[in-house]
Chains A and B, each alone.
Chain A
Amino acid sequence: MDQKDLIKEIGHIRSIMEKSSKFLSISGLSGVLIGMYALLGAFFAYQKVYGLGGFTYRNHYVTDEGVVVYLAILALLVLALSLGTSVLMAKRKAKRLKQAIWNPTSKAMLAAMAFPLLTGGLLTMIFVCKGYFALIAATLLIFYGLALAAGSVYTFKEVRWLGILEITLGLLALLFPGYGLWFWVVGFGLLHIVYGFIVYKKYE
């Protein structure tokens, strides 16, 4: 074997090791799209609660029965749209990378993310039942961040940073109650767009 073959061989082994242990089919562009859905959702939420008249008195209080339901449906709609987009675009990217989307690594990643996500989801439902609405925005940010940090072991290291920033925002949201929507605009909107753009530029 000559030297070029050897170097090529070692490089090949390296890429196989990485491919087998990291799930790299997550699409950066889907991050950008998710961020935009979140911004759009936040716009509708703002409109419902504060109206369009600029900086005036709010028309409704978040705790009004109808408003809560409207906001919950809006949030679930954005969530469903985001999940759908991520899965669809990951599938497409996996096809391009000739990687299976359902492999040991993606399974391990989802398993790692499942515990923080389920805990956060259940906790939020308990808060809804008990009427602790002020805590919901922060809780979801924190547990989403924890899930990202846990799953990041299996994918791009940028996901870890996204997770840490989401956790930080969630903690800040607890310190500044009443600004939950704005923390969501930054956490689910802007951060996703920036993260998605970085991943797209760096890896695609």
Chain B
Amino acid sequence: MDLSLYNKVFENRLRLQIMGVLLANEDYDFSSLKELLEATDGNLASNLKTLEKEGYITVEKSFVDRKPHTRYRKTTKGQKAFADHLTALENLIKQQYK
């Protein structure tokens, strides 16, 4: 079976979810992500860091009312990686049906 599309980065559930949210939206901020995914600060931050290091997302820091406000965006690379990974999962399912 061809598993070349399967992506180890997305084995972590939270990372896959983050990527899904960023695929569906132009951008998303940290606190909204936290609320939506019901994640802790530390867990969310470290997984966002991983995605950033992979070049799947970009980070944009600014200040709103003197509070830090961090926005995340997908990159073209991240978009492709997410789509490929979903294709891999799909293939896995099809494989098991056979």
Chain A residues at the B interface, C-beta cutoff of 8 Å:
1-3, 6-7, 9-10, 12-14, 16-21, 100, 103-105
Contacts and interface: CB of A to CB of B under 8 A. Distances in A.
A3 B17 contact: no
B28 A20 contact: yes
B35 A104 contact: no
A137 to B, nearest CB: 37
- A interface: dominant SS: helix
Contacts of B28: 20, 104
Given A13-B16, A16-B37, 16 more contacts: A3-B97, A9-B89, A10-B86, A10-B90, A13-B17, A13-B20, A14-B20, A16-B17, A16-B20, A16-B21, A17-B23, A19-B36, A20-B21, A20-B25, A20-B28, A100-B35
A6 B89 contact: yes
Contacts of A13: 16-17, 20, 86
Nearest to B36: A20
**Closest CB pairs A-B (n = 10):** A21-B24, A17-B24, A20-B21, A3-B96, A17-B20, A13-B20, A104-B32, A16-B17, A16-B20, A21-B25
By CB atoms of chain B within 10 A, which of A14, A20, A103 has the most? A20
Nearest to B37: A16
A12 B86 CA distance: 13
Contacts of A9: 13, 16, 89
Nearest to A10: B89
Interface of B: 13, 16-17, 20-21, 23-25, 28-29, 32, 35-37, 86, 89-90, 92-93, 96-97
Contact of B96 (A2, A16, A17): A2
Contacts of A7: 93
A5 B86 CA distance: 14
A13 B21 CA distance: 8
Contacts of B86: 10, 13
A19 B32 CA distance: 12
B25 A104 contact: yes
A1 B92 CA distance: 10
B89 A20 contact: no
B23 A6 contact: no
B61 to A, nearest CB: 17
A104 B23 CA distance: 14
